[in-house]
Structure 1
Amino acid sequence: MAPQHHKVVIIGSGPAGHTAAIYLARANLNPFMFEGMMANGFAPGGQLTTTTDVENFPGFPEGVMGGELMEKMREQSVRFGTEIETETITKLDTSARPFKLWREGSESEKEPTDTADAVIIATGASAKRMNLPGEDIYWQNGISACAVCDGAVPIFRNKPLVVIGGGDSAAEEAIYLTKYASHVHVLVRRDKLRASKVMASRLLKHPKVTVHFNTVPTETLGDGKLLGSVATKDTVTGATGSIPANGLFYAIGHVPATELVKGQVNLDNDGYISTIPGTAETNIVGLFAAGDVQDKRYRQAVTSAGSGCMAALDAERYLSELEAEE
């Protein structure tokens, strides 16, 4: 059976993927999206489907549930003509054009299931978690991996919070949370911070922050509905303890979903796809990247959407040039 050919394929269905789809569909380029089924551990729609209230996405003054926001984006993509398959692409060959794609279950086949003149990678990233006892119960009910996304929600206001991590991200998130918390406790596995001197100094001097060195969390505790405390252990003495906390924020890094393109596309030292500054272009002509898979700094729904727009416009320009050549 001959592979199905598309002008442009979008892999991923978060804000970046759907924004790209909306722009491409309105340009009459008939985008084809593989939204994935539990790809990278998420349902179609990506990380936002695991969040509750989203209060910082423009256009929703009363806030919106993460899943609802992604459903609205999906409806908008479909309205303008995007074709969406709830399947996962597990193999991509960019060595020649058109690019070759294999759907899940067909990886061993010699012939691809699909081909495309252009591909936008919008597969996102997932926050590293510790899988502590109780974490599944209190995830998004006190446990989060994004202070900027969730720090201002009512359950955290004027309450003690815990941040796990010792790098710049942890320091930045802890300081950000002091705007809302009664106090912020930072748990650092080692005897010193990995953060830059400036950030470390700012963190240690902050009156609403206590840094607990040589300390790791061992369990998350609560009433079964909301987090109430974090059990801890001293890595040197073995002593155990507990910190009252209505919120626990992971700041131990993210893992970009780049398995599809490893060995084909340039990645940075942290494994994110490298794009040409100011564009969504990768080192492979016709392959574009958008959203958290190429953004390790901001990681917000609105910045992902913006980069999806960039990817669509770059892809549209590329396809126009390709058509002119032919």
Structure 2
Amino acid sequence: MRQVIIIGSGPAGYTAAVYAARANLSPLVIASSVEAGGELMNTTEVENFPGFPDGIQGPELMEKMQAQAEKFGAEVVYDDVVGLDIDGPVKTITLGSGAVHETSALIYATGSAYRKLGLDGEDRLSGHGVSWCATCDGFFFRERTIAVVGGGDSAMEEATFLTRFASKVYIIHRKDSLRASKIMQERAFANEKIEFVWNSQVVDVLGDGALTGVVLEDTVDGSRRELALDGLFIAIGNDPRTHLVHDKLDLTPDGTIWVDGRSSRTSVPGVFAAGDVIDPTYRQAATAAGSGTVAALDAEHFLAALGEAGAPERFDDQIERLPVA
């Protein structure tokens, strides 16, 4: 039986693995068979992760994180979790290959997935003009013309942020009114760099090696036109990957996993969560890495307490304090 198993191989998962491995807990990292490395595997230049003043490619950063975890003794398995039993002191994880692993402490760090438009060229031009993160990629669009798709607070925030770099920012929305809060709407309306494109939806993205524009369809009359762009930011929301723990762990109103304050402790003793799966707000590689650190330290303390005198009292207290789901 393993002392620690980590589900997820993004910045949170691999950072947790580094800390757990250095604590001689020999963690097993279940990294997925098709999405190992998380969202950064789809990112080109990463310039805001500490320690890389010249930037680093997303896949290279994840390779370095994995190598660091393995250097200290972490084992990485490329498989998918198909079954999860977290009741009781022993947690059981079943993989697609049929392998079954047991652990005393489980760190759940599956991240979140950006909602996509579902267009053929969307993934092809990801990192080459198409992005889901203004904070990550806005810097690359200085004095360029870009567009943000969406009508909520996230879209308004992204568009307003992007005006620091771009010369022109379109907000493309399928309706003639926004669902964003009043204050966020007012900020966007007041910004002279922002222009709204109402009653429109993106039906195609254009460009071979890099984005050159989009095809817009009018949601009222069905007419189509092209809009020349250097960048397209999609801000229609994201979904935390919690499908494995529905009805197993308490969730927040945002759909993320509930944790106790600034800790990683979930509603089930011995199960910890880290990264974007608990974070509806920041969703950055650096914050996810910090969250992974917390999860590993919490798991280490939990295991130490188990070895001394059974389950620590703080987890009993935690269960009494659980919010109403």
TM-score, normalised on structure 2?
Answer: 0.93
Question: Is it true that 1:35 corresponds to 2:31 in the alignment?
Answer: yes
1:219 aligns with 2:215: no
1:37 & 1:295 partners in 2: Cα distance? Answer: 24
Deviation at 1:166, TM superposition (A): 0.5
Cα deviation per residue 1:128-186 (whole Å; 9 max; x = unaligned)? 10122422332211101111111112xx2211101000011000000111011110000
Match of 2:77 among 85, 96, 104: 85
Q: 1:258-277 counterparts in 2 under 5 A?
A: 258-277=242-261
Work out the CA distance in 1 between the residues paired with 2:75 and 2:116: 33
Q: Does the 8 Å CA contact 1:10/1:32 hold for their aligned counterparts?
A: yes
Which residue is equivalent to 1:176?
161
Could you tell me how far apart the structure 2 residues matched to 1:87 and 1:132 are? 27
Q: What is the Cα deviation at residue 316 of structure 1?
A: 0.8
State the Cα distance separating 1:324 from its structure 2 match.
0.7
Q: Does residue 132 of structure 1 match 2:128? A: no
What's the counterpart of residue 109 of structure 1? none
Q: Which of these residues, 68, 78, 96, is aligned with residue 60 of structure 2?
A: 68
8 Å CA contact 2:83–2:95 kept in 1: the answer is yes
Show CA shifts across 1:267-290 (max 9, x none): 123321111121111111110100
Among 302, 309, 313, the residue aligned to 1:325: 309
C-alpha distance in 2, partners of 1:164/1:116?
43
Structure 2 equivalent of residue 196 of structure 1 = 181
Q: Is the 8 A contact 1:161 1:248 kept in 2?
A: yes
Distance 1:241 1:85 in 2: 47
Runs of 5+ consecutive residues of structure 2 not aligned to the other structure: 311-325
2:195 alignment partner in structure 1: 210
Q: 1:299 aligns with which of 283, 302, 321?
A: 283
Q: 1:163 aligns with which of 143, 148, 151?
A: 148
The runs of at least 4 aligned residues of structure 1 exceeding 3 Å deviation read: none
Conservation of the 8 A alpha-carbon contact between 2:249 and 2:266 = yes
- In the alignment, the residues of structure 2 paired with residue 8 and residue 135 of structure 1 have an alpha-carbon distance, to the nearest angstrom, of 37
Q: Secondary structure at the match of 1:260?
A: helix
Structure 2 CA distance for aligned equivalents of residues 118 and 137 of structure 1: 39
Deviates more, 1:293-302 or 1:79-88: 79-88
Contact 2:79 2:97 (C-alpha < 8 Å) held by counterparts? no
Cα shift readout 1:272-311 (whole Å, capped 9, x = no counterpart): 1111121111111110100111111111000000000010
Separation (CA, whole Å) in 2 of partners of 1:24 and 1:139: 33
Is structure 2 residue 5 aligned with structure 1 residue 21? no
Which amino acid in 2 is paired with 1:94? Answer: I
Indicate the SS of the match to 1:227.
coil
1:235 aligned residue (219, 229, 244)? 219
2:5 counterpart of 1:9:
yes
In the alignment, structure 1 residue 114 sits paired with structure 2 residue 101: yes
| 3-state DSSP of counterpart to 1:191 | coil
Post-superposition Cα deviations, 1:62-107, rounded to whole Å, max 9, x if no partner, equal 000000000000110011111221222221101112011101143x
- Cα deviation 1:185-220 (Å, max 9, x = unaligned): 001112211111100100011000011221111111
Q: Over aligned residue pairs, what C-alpha RMSD do you find?
A: 1.2
Whole-Å separation in 2 of the counterparts to 1:276 and 1:191? 41
Indicate the SS of the match to 1:117: strand
Equivalent-residue separation in structure 2 for 1:81 and 1:132 (angstroms): 41
| 2:245 match: secondary structure | coil
Q: Counterpart in 2 of 1:143? A: 130
Count of residues paired in the alignment: 310
| 1:260 to partner: Cα distance | 1.2
Contact 1:133 1:218 in 2 (8 A): no
Q: Equivalent pairs: percent with the same residue?
A: 45
Q: Look up the match of 1:290.
A: 274
Instruction: State the TM-score, normalized to the length of structure 1.
Output: 0.92
Quote how far apart the aligned CAs of 1:256 are.
Answer: 1.3
* Cross-structure match for 1:281: 265
Q: Which sections of structure 1, spanning at least 5 residues, go unmatched?
A: 107-111
2:180 aligned partner, one-letter code: A
Distance 2:85 2:259 in 1: 18
Any idea what SS the aligned residue of 2:243 has? coil
Q: Which amino acid aligns with 2:139?
A: A
Mapped to 2, the partners of 1:124 and 1:248 lie a distance apart of: 23
